[in-house]
Structure 1
């Protein structure tokens, strides 16, 4: 399955279950927020341009190919199925196999992640916090186009190294990610800013959510899990015969329908890149807050992603969809989301 910026929450679902997910999310935000100045900085650390004598371009290219071959071996959900032996061995074993799939199998792949970074995140210059007017390539000189191509290589290698951390040897991961890390370390503070832009209408509310996630303690994590369980039980009750779900007895909206509305609202309003950056920042805050693989696999990440998406399009969503997406935050904190 391909990853897209429109469905960045799905990418987030994979990243919060990967050991290199935090780093991978950072690469996406860097790509989204990069322009000619950032491309030039990244390109300067490409093996074809660096003055480091240990960075042999041919060897680096060979290692890059080898890394992608190894990364392709990662587990995929569409390739995972319960075998006849597992079924025959009993329900307990079948459920254990399913749980392990939810923990480790990916919706997408390293190749799909690389394509997202190269073809989508780098395709729209400066759009991570708002729409861009006019064609993005009009002002690119030949040198700028070369810088962007080399920057794409640097970002893509770092993306693969982080995404495929389970499949790649540490030494290979380090060599792939080193050019990107050097570029970030040598940049002016704020060049690769991994924080919400306070100038946007949703910046303060998003900052509140991310700050709340990062500061989550054990009791806070318990509340998030309880909120997810309560939402799941409420959804089951609405779907049960006679459950109703609204005043007129018709089924109420589901979380997935509300999330679809929010993603479509972001797309229609030119906020797709901003929403994708927000989801990637939420991946980092989620992991910084001590949430684990099981939280990502069993619904807590989805609840967080819904809150984040709701914040980005709070002025465009219907009240029912917005309430559904913001409900976990209210249950956990006792407060409504700013703007919601």
Structure 2
């Protein structure tokens, strides 16, 4: 399944369950943030441009190809069909094995993630880069973009496929990106919520709340998800209504030109979620979905109907006892 900026919440679902998910989310944010100056900085650290004699471009290309072969072996969600129908030593053993496979399996893949970073994330508005101040006819700018895309893509694969790649190979792939970020002015590749936007203050509140979640707070999130799941089990229409509200919120972001902002918000939420101590099980069992719904609702609170907005914001109210700002 391909990843898209419009469905960044689905990408987030995968990233919060990966050991390199926080870093992978950061690469998406950096790609979204990259204008001509940022691309020139990234391109300067490409093996073709660096003066480091140890950075042999041919070796780098070979390592990149090897990493992508290894990354392709990661577990995919569609691969669980065989496990579901397999005959095991016992039903409990089979179900436990299936649950673990579902917990680790991705909706997308490393190659799908790389494609998102190279294409949509580097040009979220589509077309040429006029909106970023670049000249589509400028050969230097085009080369910078291509080299920067390589640097970001290698870092993306290294982070996404951290389970499949040897540590030395991951470090080799991500080093040019890390050097670029380390050598940049602080904040260059960050995409913090803009307080001037309608959603900026509310989004900052959500991210800060997630980032500083303590153990009792994590329990409250899990309880809120369990309660919502129980309500959905009693009334299937409620579960459908949440899914429809999330779909409407993603569509509202798309039609209002907020796709890139919403995708950045989801990636920042991935980082805040992990910083707040939530684990793989929280990502797999519904807590991430609840969080991503709150984030998406904040981004389009001025465009959604009251019922849809209330559904998306409900977990925040259940956890904090307060209404979601802006909702």
Aligned mates of 2:193, 2:311 — CA distance in 1:
23
Aligned mates of 1:285, 1:220 — CA distance in 2:
14
Query: Does structure 1 conserve the Cα–Cα contact (< 8 Å) formed by 2:293 and 2:313?
Result: yes
1:216 match:
213
Deviation at 1:134, TM superposition (A): 6.4
2:68 match:
68
1:43 and 2:40 matched:
no
Residue range with higher mean Cα deviation, 288-297 or 86-95: 86-95
State the aligned residue count: 326
Which of 258, 279, 299 aligns to 2:286? It is 299
Which of 254, 258, 261 aligns to 1:271? It is 258
Structure 1 regions of 5+ residues with no counterpart? 240-244, 246-250
Deviations 1:107-141 (A, max 9, x none): 000000000000110123699xxxx9869865551
> Against the structure 1 CA distance between its residues 337 and 177, is the aligned structure 2 distance closer, same or farther, given a 3 Å change threshold?
same
Deviation at 1:195, TM superposition (A): 2.1
Aligned mates of 1:124, 1:224 — CA distance in 2:
32
Which of 136, 139, 154 aligns to 2:151? It is 154
Question: SS where residue 317 of structure 2 aligns?
Answer: helix
After TM superposition, the structure 1 = structure 2 runs for residues 1-340 of structure 1, keeping only pairs within 5 Å, are: 1-83=1-83, 86-124=86-124, 138-139=135-136, 141-239=138-236, 254-340=241-327
> Against the structure 1 CA distance between its residues 290 and 203, is the aligned structure 2 distance closer, same or farther, given a 3 Å change threshold?
same
Structure 2 regions of 5+ residues with no counterpart? none
> Against the structure 1 CA distance between its residues 299 and 102, is the aligned structure 2 distance closer, same or farther, given a 3 Å change threshold?
same
- Per residue, is there more helix in 1 or in 2? 2
Question: SS where residue 170 of structure 2 aligns?
Answer: helix
Deviation at 1:92, TM superposition (A): 1.4
Deviation at 1:334, TM superposition (A): 0.5
Deviation at 1:253, TM superposition (A): 5.5
> Against the structure 1 CA distance between its residues 157 and 339, is the aligned structure 2 distance closer, same or farther, given a 3 Å change threshold?
same
> Against the structure 1 CA distance between its residues 97 and 88, is the aligned structure 2 distance closer, same or farther, given a 3 Å change threshold?
closer
Deviation at 1:212, TM superposition (A): 0.4
Aligned mates of 1:302, 1:252 — CA distance in 2:
12
Query: Does structure 2 conserve the Cα–Cα contact (< 8 Å) formed by 1:31 and 1:155?
Result: yes
Q: Structure 1 runs of 4+ off > 6 angstroms? A: 132-137
* TM-score normalised over the length of structure 2: 0.95
Deviation at 1:98, TM superposition (A): 2.4
Question: SS where residue 81 of structure 1 aligns?
Answer: helix
* TM-score normalised over the length of structure 1: 0.91
Q: CA RMSD in A?
A: 2.1
> Against the structure 1 CA distance between its residues 137 and 78, is the aligned structure 2 distance closer, same or farther, given a 3 Å change threshold?
farther
Deviations 1:79-108 (A, max 9, x none): 222448844533312321221122100000
